[in-house]
Amino acid sequence: MTTLSILFLLASTPPLIPLPQELAWNAGSFELNRNTGLINKGATNNTLSRLREATDLILRNQAGTSSIVLEQVPGMPDEAYTLEVTPLQLRLTSSSDAGFFYGIQTLKQLNQNGRIRAVKIKDAPRFGWRGLMLDESRHFFGPKFVRKYLDGMAAHKFNNFHWHLTDDGGWRMESKRFPELTRVGAFRKEQGVEWDYGNLWFPGPSSSEKLYGGFYNQDELRSMVDYARVRHINIVPEIEMPGHSLAATASKPELQCEPPPGVMAEYLKGTNSQAPTMMCPGKDSTIEFCKNILDETMALFPSKFIHIGADEVDKTLWRQCKHCQARMKANNLKDEHELQSWFVRQMDAYLASKGRRLIGWDEILEGGLAPGAAVMSWRGISGGIAAAQANHDVVMSPTSHCYFDYSYDTIPTSLVYSYEVIPAALTGEQRNRVLGGQANIWTEWLSTPAEVESMTYPRALALAETLWTQPERKSWSDFEARLNAYYPRLEQMKIAFRLGAPKLDPDVLNLAANKEWKFTRPDIAGAQLVLEDGTVVTGATVPATNKEVKVYFQLPGGRRGDPAVGRVVNLTHTTALNQPGLLSMTIPWTKNTAPPLSEFENAKQAEEASISLVARPTKPYALRFKGGLVVDKPGRYTIGIGSDDGSVLYLDGQKVIDNDGAHPYIERTVTIDLQPGVYPMDLVYFEAGGSSRLEFFWTPPGGTRQAIQSFRHQRSGSSDSDSLAGSGGSI
């Protein structure tokens, strides 16, 4: 018996995710073994197959000393089930195959080595749309991974797999009618690991370039639909139009606007890597193409909803194209937004004529929403609100909570869990327009299955519960405890979930104040705390050393989570500022890491004895604030820096916060014990391009977060402005 299964046997209350609506644990347990009987009162063969998978037993269809009873009960809501377990009987009821399926998923989570704890469960989902979206255009992962992804979804009661099959990065659905879509559009020139939007090129199969990509043939697509169907997952295919269509326009240049300003021709020759990515809605042939490709899509995918994308359409070329302008004139369309809306209406009517429904990203609201269209709200929730108020169905997937390609720093699991899917602005009947929600996994920066999985899990579990469980049943602390106990099951499923870092207390050990590290030790089932060299940490503390410490959670199989990095400093302080105010210095700087302090010392001429940066430095540049941090009471401080791009905080010449690297705005905080006094301080920041921002803040003992310094450089039109504000803390 493995360590894992011993743990399972000992755990008396198995963690259930998502939490059922009604749940009462009882004493005793039901044992699954070869003598277990089966009494089937109306369940289908599909349900019996799923039960066989869940129990690992071929059950005889006759009563045993203890029996599983499957009973179809007409009138229960679709997807609902009850599960009643006593030592003698395990009774699962539902009116539908879907309800039996969800009952069996719960049964799998209850199963602890053949022992099912006695329980009474009554369950049904809160929302009918519980989705995950996977982008396979930017990176192609292939059927084996997608089946595994569907398995993970099914186990947590997701029921819509939104499959992003076409975009600028590649076309992944075989078309019999337009084979060039995959012959050319499924294989881009190998770019290396880094995604480079400006360097997408589809040189075609006869090119000598190294190609990268892949696609699903129609048999594979049909078989994926079947695989999902028996797991009660509907596949919503997304065929992007009229934007995000580079793979299509590269394969079929006639889909482009005319007269092309030479760009497409140059692109095809390889002399210009910046090809336009939108189709021409002015040409009748484009409309025909879109309808034809939707015909093939509908033939492959039985989904009621067909997703046509329609987000982020660059309309520049439409303004210059004679076909687009003629279309606008003929249809009285006042601008290009109305042209986009006209295009979406064509597709909406076409899908409706075939008994299907159109769904698109919230840009389909611009220029007027097509009559039957459903809206997927991604740029916040306002699109969802507007559509629901206009009596359209909506699926919520705002960037704030549902973009799982964003880092865990930006969207932590707890934030996903806190998401309330129905916007507060909706009332009465409008609330029923919210079909549910989904998370989106865009893959520009995720090129391997393991990366996709670690961005998906555990956040998908938080979303699963948010979409399934009624809000009054939800509690983050209860969920977190179940999640910590649930990781071994993800391990069993071989899902490369993200395992976070332990929490060090404090993060920065000031030898002038502390002698040991403390750990907050969440009870992750089976995991040990280890140091970098593998030493297992058994107690709650580790004595201070004079160097940095890294601590990890390590799972029984040896996999480690993210490190908690504890810094060690020994801070001396003075009682008075040893220099007037705060000095700022800027130097030109072109690397993607912050310069060491010595770089500034070597560039004294750049020094300004002022905290206001009047003239914006020539970019790219680095900036140093030098002064003293004034601490007036002893205790534990949380200090933070947020920056775009990187920043580093030094106290008394020792690195305290490392927020280095070229990156979007990211905040990092540390806790540190400080005595009253003035601490020599250096804050180094660099800006490598794009927008720039630096925030320096702290939370004093017993206080609330206060800004110490705030620096922003904003670009508005052609005039640039800098602002530097100091408040709250003192320096």
Q: Do residues 684 and 659 lie in contact, with contact meaning Cβ atoms separated by under 8 Å?
A: no
Q: Residues 396 to 415: which contact ligand ACM by CB under 6 A?
A: none
For residue 74, whether the previous peptide bond is cis, meaning omega lies within 30 degrees of 0, is no
Nearer to ligand ACM, 92 or 416 (CB): 416
- Alpha-carbon separation of residue 136 from 139, 148, 219, 260 (angstroms): 5, 14, 18, 29
Q: Residues 259 to 318: which contact Zn ion by CB under 5 A?
A: 280, 282
Angle at 454 between CA 199 and CA 396, to 5 degrees: 80
Give me the least distance between CB of 296 and ligand ACM, in Å please: 23
Nearer to ligand ACM, 164 or 232 (CB): 164
Of positions 324, 411, 549, 724, contacts Zn ion by CB under 5 A: 324
Q: Do residues 350 and 287 lie in contact, with contact meaning Cβ atoms separated by under 8 Å?
A: no
Q: Do residues 286 and 329 lie in contact, with contact meaning Cβ atoms separated by under 8 Å?
A: no
The site for Zn ion, by CB under 5 A, has a size of 6
Nearer to ligand ACM, 133 or 688 (CB): 133
Q: Do residues 224 and 147 lie in contact, with contact meaning Cβ atoms separated by under 8 Å?
A: yes
Cα–Cα distance, 552 to 237 (Å, whole number): 40
User: If contact means CB under 5 to 8 A according to the sort of partner, which of ligand ACM, Zn ion, none does residue 163 touch?
Assistant: none
Q: Does 318 bind ligand ACM (CB under 6 A)?
A: no
Nearer to ligand ACM, 97 or 238 (CB): 238
Q: Does 311 bind ligand ACM (CB under 6 A)?
A: yes
Alpha helices in 282-332 (DSSP H): 284-300, 316-320, 322-330
- Alpha-carbon separation of residue 160 from 104, 128, 717 (angstroms): 18, 9, 42
Give me the least distance between CB of 285 and Zn ion, in Å please: 11
Nearer to ligand ACM, 305 or 361 (CB): 361
- Residue given tokens 């707890």 in the structure block: 414
User: If contact means CB under 5 to 8 A according to the sort of partner, which of Zn ion, ligand ACM, none does residue 110 touch?
Assistant: none
Give me the least distance between CB of 161 and ligand ACM, in Å please: 16
Q: Does 312 bind ligand ACM (CB under 6 A)?
A: yes
Nearer to ligand ACM, 30 or 361 (CB): 361
Q: 628 - beta bridge partners?
A: 680
Give me the least distance between CB of 415 and ligand ACM, in Å please: 18
Query: In sequence order, what DSSP letters do the residues of 684-710 get, joined into one string?
Result: EEEE-SS-EEEEEEEE-TT---EEEEE
Q: Does 321 bind Zn ion (CB under 5 A)?
A: yes
Which residue lies nearest ligand ACM, judged by its C-beta? 311
Q: Does 378 bind ligand ACM (CB under 6 A)?
A: yes
For residue 522, whether the previous peptide bond is cis, meaning omega lies within 30 degrees of 0, is no
Tokens representing 133 are: 């979206």
Q: Which stretch binds Zn ion (CB under 5 A): 171-179, 217-225, 320-328, 359-367?
A: 320-328
Taken as a whole, the chain contains a residue count of 731
**Closest C-alpha among 163, 147, 126, 128 to residue 18:** 126
Of positions 184, 246, 257, 439, contacts Zn ion by CB under 5 A: 257
Cα–Cα distance, 557 to 475 (Å, whole number): 30
Nearer to Zn ion, 132 or 264 (CB): 264
Instruction: Compose the 645-684 pattern: x for residues touching ligand ACM by CB under 6 A, - for all others.
Output: ----------------------------------------
Q: Do residues 422 and 405 lie in contact, with contact meaning Cβ atoms separated by under 8 Å?
A: no
Tokens representing 280 are: 């021409």
Q: Would you give the DSSP letter of residue 216?
A: B
Give me the least distance between CB of 442 and ligand ACM, in Å please: 6
Give me the least distance between CB of 312 and ligand ACM, in Å please: 5
Q: What are phi and psi of 574, to 5 degrees?
A: -115, 180
Give me the least distance between CB of 200 and ligand ACM, in Å please: 16
Cα–Cα distance, 681 to 698 (Å, whole number): 14
Q: Does 444 bind ligand ACM (CB under 6 A)?
A: no
User: If contact means CB under 5 to 8 A according to the sort of partner, which of ligand ACM, Zn ion, none does residue 257 touch?
Assistant: Zn ion
Q: Do residues 161 and 242 lie in contact, with contact meaning Cβ atoms separated by under 8 Å?
A: no
Q: Does 314 bind ligand ACM (CB under 6 A)?
A: no
Give me the least distance between CB of 200 and Zn ion, in Å please: 21
**Which positions are catalytic?**
167, 244, 312
Instruction: Compose the 252-291 pattern: x for residues touching ligand ACM by CB under 6 A, - for all others.
Output: ----------------------------------------
Q: Residues 489 to 548: which contact Zn ion by CB under 5 A?
A: none
Nearer to Zn ion, 324 or 623 (CB): 324
Instruction: Compose the 467-506 pattern: x for residues touching ligand ACM by CB under 6 A, - for all others.
Output: ----------------------------------------
Nearer to Zn ion, 244 or 392 (CB): 244
Q: Do residues 590 and 622 lie in contact, with contact meaning Cβ atoms separated by under 8 Å?
A: no
Of positions 117, 139, 323, 433, contacts Zn ion by CB under 5 A: 323
Q: Do residues 500 and 528 lie in contact, with contact meaning Cβ atoms separated by under 8 Å?
A: no
The site for ligand ACM, by CB under 6 A, has a size of 4
- Residue given tokens 């009229």 in the structure block: 242
Nearer to ligand ACM, 312 or 608 (CB): 312
Q: Would you give the DSSP letter of residue 371?
A: T
Q: Residues 349 to 368: which contact ligand ACM by CB under 6 A?
A: 361
Query: In sequence order, what DSSP letters do the residues of 582-622 get, joined into one string?
Result: -EEEEEE--SSSPPPHHHHHTTGGGEES-S---SPPPSSEE
Cα–Cα distance, 629 to 627 (Å, whole number): 7
Binding site for Zn ion (CB under 5 A): 257, 280, 282, 321, 323-324
Binding site for ligand ACM (CB under 6 A): 311-312, 361, 378
